[in-house]
A and B are shown apart, each in its own frame.
Chain A
Amino acid sequence: MGATHLPSTEFDGTELDDQLEAQAEAALGVPPTEMVQLLRPDGTLGADSVFSEYAQRLDAEKFRGFYADMAAIRRFDQEATALQRQGQLALWVPLTGQEAAQIGSGRASQPQDYIFPTYREHGVALTRNVDLAELLKQFRGVSNGGWNPKDTNFHLYTLVLAAQTPHAVGYAMGIQRDQRLAAAQGVEGSAEPKAAVMVYFGDGASSEGDVHESMVFASSYNAPVVFFCQNNHWAISVPTAVQTRIPLSNRAKGYGFPGIRVDGNDVIAVHAVTEWALEHARQGNGPVLIEAFTYRVGAHTTADDPTKYRESSEEALWREKDPLDRLEKYLRSEGMADEAFFAKVAAEGDELAAYIRKSTYASDAPDIRTAFANTYVEAHPLVAEELAWFEQYSAGFAGEDEGEGAGR
C-alpha cells in the first residue's frame, strides 16, 4: 500500500477539530487524511473498506478482553494517582482517556515484536505482561524501571522525548539483518516468526528532531517499524496546533510511507489499524505511521493544572467519547456481556488496586552499591575507588541510627 489516504468513515471531531481540519486543508491544498473509526461513540459498529476485515477477526471474547484491559488500566491509573496524592509516589503520569489507543495497539502486537514506549504507556505495558507494580518504581524513586525488557520485549520508559524513536529504528534494522543472516545460512522459515518494532510518542514529541531522523532512517532502509503517535491534544499546556498545522498522520507522506489517522478512543479501530501496520512491517513492506486521535482527559502529570490552559468544556466533550463507555454500549447491545461480567471486571480492578498499593508500600530504596555496580559492565577503576571510599566512609557510621547517615 503506497497511498497515505485510506478510505475511512466520517470524521467525528469537536468544533475545534473541524476548524483545524479546515486549516489543514487550506495548508495542504487537499483534504487531510481522514480518520478511521469503526466503533462510534454511540456504541454502534461502522464499516471501513480496509479495516473492517481486521475487526472481523475479533470475537466476543476478544472484545470482552479489551474492555477488561481498559477497565483494569483505568483502575490502576486511579490507584497510582491516589498513591501520589498520599505521598507514596513523587509523581504520576495519568493515562485516563487513552486506554483504547494503548490497549488496542498493544493487543495487536505479537510476543516477538519489540515495543519502545514513552512514559505514559501503562496500558501497553499491561498488554505486554509487565508486572504493573514495576511501573510505579520509577515514580517512587526506587528504580528507573523495574522490569527486564528482555522478558517482555517492552523497553523501559524513556523520558527524554522521542529519544527512543531512533532506538526503535535501529532495533528494526537489527531484525532485518537477523532475517538476512538466517536466509544466508539457509534457515529462512525455520527461524523465529517475523518481527516488527512499535515505538510510541506523542503529539508534543512529534516536533523533536529525533522523530524526523528516525522516519528518514526507517524510510531509507525500509525498516519494519510502526510509529505509533498518540495525539492526546496537549503537550503539557501547549495544544497540538503549536506542533503542527496538518494532521500528524499526513507527515508520513513526506517520508514516503503510509500514515493513518485512527480514532484513538475506538479500541476496535486502533486494534485493526495497528494489526494491519504490524503485518505490513513484518512482511517487509516498511514503516507505517499511526496517529491515534485521542485526548488526555486528566492532567499531564500530578504536578500539572489543566484549568490554567484549557476549558473544562473541552474535557467534557471528550468524556462523551469515552473509550470504555462506547465499548460497554456495544457489548451490552450485542449481548456479548452481562452484569456479571462488568461486576467481575470491577472486582478484578479492586484486586489489582490492592496489589498495587501493597507492592508500592513494600518497594524499598535500593542499595547505592547496585548503582556503583551497574554504571559499567566491565570493571572500572574510578568506580572501584569511589566505592571503596564509600564503604570506608559508611563504616564510620556503624552502630548509629539506621535511618541516619550514608551507611544505611
Chain B
Amino acid sequence: MTTMTIAKAINEGLRATLSNNPKSLLMGEDIGPLGGVYRVTDGLIGEFGPDRVVDTPLAESGIIGTAIGLALRGYLPVAEIQFDGFVFPGFNQITTQLAKMHSRSNGNLTVPVVIRIPYGGGIGSIEHHSESPEALFAHTPGLRIITPSNPHDAYWMIQQAVNCQDPVIVFEPKRRYWLKGEVDTESAGPAEDPFKAHVVREGTDATVVVYGPLVPVALAAANAAAEDGRSIEVIDLRSISPIDFDAIEASVKKTGRLVVAHEAPTFGGIGGEIAARISERAFLSLEAPVIRVGGFHMPYPVAKIEEDYLPDIDRILEALDRTFAY
C-alpha cells in the first residue's frame, strides 16, 4: 500500500501501462514537457520519449481521429482532452467514428482507444472548464464510460481501460485530483471489474448513488444523516456505461429508497436513466419515488455562483428528507 493523490495514481497507472505494453502511447495537448495542465503525465515523456508521449497540435478532432487511425494500426492510444468543455470539437469523431467502428465493420475492426477527460466543477474556473458532459456519451452505443473516485481505482481503472478492447472514456474528477488515498499497486483487489459499482458505505434506510467528484459529498451526507439516526447506503457507480443496475437494484430492495446525485444537469441525465430502470426492476420495493439531485437546466454558471449550482451535502440531505417523507 502506498498513499498518493488521484493525479499521481493516474500518472503511475499510465507509467505502468507504458511499461507493460510497447504499443500503448499517450497523446494530447501539453502532455509532454509540461506534463499536462494538471501534471497527470508529469515525467512520462522523459521516460518513454516523444513517440510514446505525444504533444499534439491543438485540435481535438485531430487527436481523436488520429488515435482511431493508430488503433486501426494496432496501437493502444490514450488521448487526453484538456478540459471537459473542449471535447466537443472531437465529439463527431467520438460518436460517429470511434463508437461505431466495431459495429459497422461487422466485428472485423477494433478501436481500443482510451480518452481521458478531466471533468466537473468546484474549482472556481472560467467557462468551459467545469462541465459534466458524460450523459452525451453514455447515450452513444459502442462507448464505455468510467469515472474513478479515489486513488486506488484511478490507478487500476486507467490500466483496465487501456486493456479493454472497446473504446473507453475515463472521466477524471478534476476537483479530486489532489485527494489522497491508499493504493495497492500489487493488486486491483477482489472487485476489480471496472464496470461494476462499489458499495462504499453500507446502510439500511436509503440508497444514495453517486460517482466521481460527488462520492465524498455523498459520504459526508451519509455521516450527517447518521447523526439523525438514518442509515444511508452509498454506492459509487464507477461505471456510467454500462451501469451496474444489479448493484443498485440489490441495494434498493434492501433500503426501499433511492437518491441519485450528479453534477451534470438533472434533465436527460444519468439519474433519470437510473430512476427509470430501478422503477422497472424494483417498483414494489420502492417506498418513495426515486429523487434526482443534479445541476440545473442552465449552462454551467460563473464561478462565483457555482456553489449554488453544484449538488452539495445539504442538497443530498434535502433529497433524503423528501424520500423519507413518503
Which residues from chain A contact B105 at a C-beta distance below 8 Å? 144-145, 148-149, 156, 374
A133 to B93, CA, bound (A): 28
The 8 A CB mask of A169-183 against B (1 = contact, 0 = none) is 111111101101100
Q: Is B61 an interface residue (CB 8 A)?
A: yes
Q: Chain B residues near A209 (CB, 8 Å)?
A: 61, 89
Q: Which of A359-400 contact B (CB under 8 A)?
A: 370-371, 373-378, 380-382
Flag if A170 contacts B67 (CB, 8 Å): yes
Taking a contact as CB atoms closer than 8 A, the residue among A166, A170, A371 that contacts B73 in the complex is A170
Closest A residue to B246 by CB, please name it: A381
Q: B283-303 vs A: 1/0 string, CB under 8 Å?
A: 000000000000000000000
Residue of B nearest to A213 (CB): B62
Kindly identify which residue among A148, A172, A371, A376 contacts B69, using a CB–CB cutoff of 8 Å.
A172
Beyond A169-B65, A213-B59, A213-B62, whether A180 also contacts B51 by CB under 8 A is yes
A214: contacting residue among B65, B195, B243, CB under 8 A: B65
B142 touches A217 (CB 8 A): no
Q: Is the interface of A mostly helix, strand, loop or mixed?
A: helix
Q: Does A284 contact B (CB under 8 A)?
A: no
Kindly state whether residue A216 has any CB partner on chain B within 8 Å: yes
Known: A145-B105, A378-B164, A382-B242. A174 touches B61 (CB 8 A): no
Q: Which residues of B contact A177 (CB under 8 A)?
A: 25, 51, 70, 75
Pick the contact of B103 from A146, A216, A374 — CB < 8 Å?
Answer: A374
A210 interface residue, CB < 8 Å from B? yes
Is B141 on the interface with A (CB-CB < 8 A)? yes
Interface residues in A150-165 by Cβ distance below 8 A to B read: 150, 155-156, 158, 160, 163, 165
Closest Cβ of chain B: how far from A211's Cβ, in Å? 10
Residue A9 lies at the interface, judged by CB distance under 8 Å to chain B:
no
Give Cα A11–Cα B62 distance, bound, in whole angstroms: 35
Is B74 in contact with A174, judged by CB distance below 8 angstroms?
yes
Known contacts A150-B108, A177-B51, A376-B142: A171-B70 contact under CB 8 Å: yes
Residue A283 at the B interface, CB < 8 A?
no
| B57 contacts across to A, CB distance below 8 A | 213, 216-217, 220
A residues within 8 A CB of B166?
376-378
- Kindly provide the distance from the CB of B91 to the nearest chain A CB, expressed in whole angstroms: 12
Known: A171-B73, A213-B59, A380-B242. A374 touches B106 (CB 8 A): yes
Given contacts A180-B51, A209-B61, A214-B62, contact A375 B103 (CB under 8 A): yes
Q: Which residues of A contact B102 (CB under 8 A)?
A: 374-377
Known: A167-B69, A210-B65, A374-B103. A160 touches B97 (CB 8 A): yes
**A163's contact among B22, B65, B73, by CB below 8 Å, is which?**
B65
- Chain A's nearest CB lies how many Å from the CB of B317? 31
Find out whether the CB atom of A370 lies under 8 angstroms from the CB atom of B106. yes
Contact A149 B109 (CB under 8 A): yes
Cα A142 to Cα B22 with chains together (Å): 38
A149-B108, A217-B62 are contacts. A163–B96 as well, Cβ < 8 Å? yes
Q: Give the complex CA separation of A169 and B75 in angstroms.
A: 13
Q: Within the assembled complex, what's the spacing in Å between the Cα atoms of A290 and B227?
A: 72
5 contacts between A and B (CB under 8 A): A145-B106, A150-B108, A216-B57, A370-B106, A381-B195
Q: A213-B65, A217-B66, A374-B107 are in contact. List 7 more A-B contacts (CB 8 A).
A: A166-B61, A166-B68, A171-B72, A171-B73, A217-B56, A217-B57, A377-B165
